[in-house]
Structure 1
């Protein structure tokens, strides 16, 4: 929403939102409520996305699909039991031979191997969320070179995890 600036938005049905102060009796506060820099960033981010959304979302999904397919091939070629969950421009890798469909099944994935993957990716210049319970998010800022670098990092990192 804020393209890197601190901001949040709350929304809901009119009858619920009308209960919030100043019109209603439910007090709501926020450190950055109405912060002019954050609000300006959000407005301009939304305007920019609206201008480029047809190309933007297609690019994000294409890059995510490429990463997921290639990482899947790398892990399969290395005979590493794994699952990759993805949607649109978001994905997550699990060290598991069984499908990961919820929190309960994600806890059964090998977290120690994920930690080793995270550490090796970091050594190779690729930062992902440090927990198997979080996801990788692609952005418009990721270039073709970034995708290639990421695939190389996953390749060497998966080999390191296997050994």
Structure 2
């Protein structure tokens, strides 16, 4: 921990430059965002390391230890289809590991389109239905960010062509 403002500034500088440094390792970077109970952070970090080893990937963890927010960053080359498949599989396993310890699929950056596939794993059908109903009240024609945040594929009557 930092006890002076100078020490805090150094820690923040390292945190802020982490993504740029990782960008020098490989042409692409898959940045994840999840949150877990703080007490499980050591176990999740071990699990992420095991997942990275299993898929033969380089993962750097940037996280907020104070609130359990976790950002596993996977360095990869998007021109390599095999590596892209391994990154997707690793992301899947990381998200499910976070859910398994009582965490969530997003800590601060939201669901967007990247995590739509995990919504049915994080929420039951009734809860997803309630989310869709609320969204429909405010966006009855599905024009606001269609296909993001709430998965259409989990509800047949909301399914649209091209939706994830």
Shared fold (TM-score, shorter chain, > 0.5): no
The higher radius of gyration belongs to: 1
Structure 1 or 2: more strand by fraction? 2
Q: TM-score, normalised by structure 1?
A: 0.28
